[in-house]
Amino acid sequence: MSKGKQICEWTKNLLIVALLCSAAWLLVDSQMFGRLPWRLEPRQSGTGQQAPAPTTGQVTLPMAVAVLNDSGVCAARYDAAAVDELFQPLLPVLGEALAGAGQPQQEEADAWLAALSGHSGAWFELQGNVPMQVLCRWLAGTDNPYLTGNARQILLCVRDEQVFLCYRCDEQYQSCAVEGMSAEYLRGVLAQKATNGADFAHGRSEYETLAPQTLILPQEPSPEEYVAINPLAEGQDMNSLLQGLAFAPGITTVYQTPEGYRARSGNDTLTVSDAGRIGYEREGDEQRYPLAGNEEDPAVYRAVETARQIVCGATQTWGGTAVYLRDVRQEADGWHVEFGYVLNATAVQLDEPGWCAEVVLDHEGVVRYQMILRGYQPAGKTTLLLPQPQAAAVLEQMGQTGSGLLLNYLDGGDSARAAWIADR
């Protein structure tokens, strides 16, 4: 072979090697294998840096906010933009209070209600039962061993020139003194909002049959109606779906069933129904979805974060609907973490079983999950509702005295319409 031909062949070989290296780099960079689109970057042990708090579209929280100051009450609910505008200035304050809260002390409901009638407080309602350890990690970026249990409502207030963090946990009221935050500082933050006429049911005769901490809006809500859409109905690319759920297409066996598709990888099974339901069962030793975080992190936080990443990754990719953390409980078979859809800061109740996703985890990772994928499009009309006083009267007639008055979207399959429900 001539010298010129040898040089030509060497050049071709070098180009082939360069192309192979480039392809390998692109494969890794696109996270095609071994990484999921929802997985957080691993934290370096001992650095103290925490994963960022979930944002709107990942786990929306809170669902309602009220500021109490000398001018009265300024509150927002059933309006995502208004809730976010009111919450953002309070977010660092709440995070600081969660980090600095001391040993909780149980107190009577009267002390909570007295604070709701005061002039120095910020009240937050979470749509679901959120573990305080998880909330502290999300908003404060640190752990606080004093905060335990799950909470639906949180109140930051001033008592005798001391800032207190109060929360309802399992129908009990807990109160924690907050170190490092002055009453003057909290009042200064709260004073920036002027009243918009909102109030609480406590002390108002027309709402005396409701739970006293029920937030009463200054204007009647006029909720948009939505058309419910199954994002898998148009024919989902199975390779994309499998890859997004950590089932590598090349080593996964897929076959059709009367309900849709079933995929097997190792001993694990993934089912995808034509109705938009996805189910996963772990049957082998392989941890397809290992726990997020580090071993020193609280177990409940690791369970919730792992579940959140899976559910938010799926719902944002197929459907684009925001979710909220609905419930977390520890049972004999592990942690059960539930999520629900939310439209414009209003929870959605699916006809069956209520949640949009449930993830069960043990001490190693995900054992199984179920998800109902939904997309929602505005229907171009609003729902007529009973005014709040009449809705409260109806609840009384139905034997629901003492419950809260809450607006939820009810999804029966084809549409989502808002309705008043009793909130226990």
350: pLDDT strictly greater than 90? yes
Q: What is the mean pLDDT of residues 187-194?
A: 96
- Predicted pLDDT of residue 424: 78
Secondary structure letter of residue 283 according to DSSP: -
Enumerate the H helices of 129-287 as residue ranges. 132-140, 183-190, 238-244
Residue 374 in tokens: 């939904």
Enumerate the H helices of 153-196 as residue ranges. 183-190
Residue with tokens 């109806």: 394
Confidence of residue 279 (pLDDT cuts 50, 70, 90): very high
Question: Residues 8-31: pLDDT tens digits?
Answer: 444 434 333 333 333 333 333 332
Residue 81 in tokens: 């933009």
| C-alpha R_g of the chain | 25
DSSP helix/strand/coil, 83: helix
Q: What is the mean pLDDT of residues 89-101?
A: 96
Confidence of residue 242 (pLDDT cuts 50, 70, 90): confident
- Predicted pLDDT of residue 58: 62
What whole-number percentage of the chain has pLDDT above 90? 71
β-bridge partners, 359: 337, 369
Secondary structure letter of residue 101 according to DSSP: B
Residue with tokens 């780099």: 25
Dist. CA 272–CA 276, nearest whole Å: 7
Q: Which helix (H) or strand (E) holds 359?
A: strand 357-361
Of the listed ranges 213-217, 239-243, 375-379, the least confidently predicted one is: 239-243
Question: Residues 218-230: pLDDT tens digits?
Answer: 999 999 999 999 9
Helix 299-317 to helix 132-140 angle (10° resolution) is 70
Q: Output 237 or 391, whichever has higher pLDDT.
A: 391
Confidence of residue 110 (pLDDT cuts 50, 70, 90): very high
DSSP helix/strand/coil, 314: helix
DSSP helix/strand/coil, 310: helix
C-beta of residue 422 within 8 angstroms of C-beta of residue 404: yes
60: pLDDT strictly greater than 70? no
User: How confident is the prediction for the chain on average, in pLDDT?
Assistant: 85
Secondary structure letter of residue 290 according to DSSP: B
- Predicted pLDDT of residue 52: 52
β-bridge partners, 265: 268
DSSP helix/strand/coil, 273: strand
Is this prediction's pTM over 0.95? no
Strands 346-350 and 404-411: parallel
Boundaries of every domain in the chain: 64-216, 230-318+352-373
C-beta of residue 268 within 8 angstroms of C-beta of residue 280: yes
Question: Residues 388-407: pLDDT tens digits?
Answer: 999 999 999 999 999 999 99
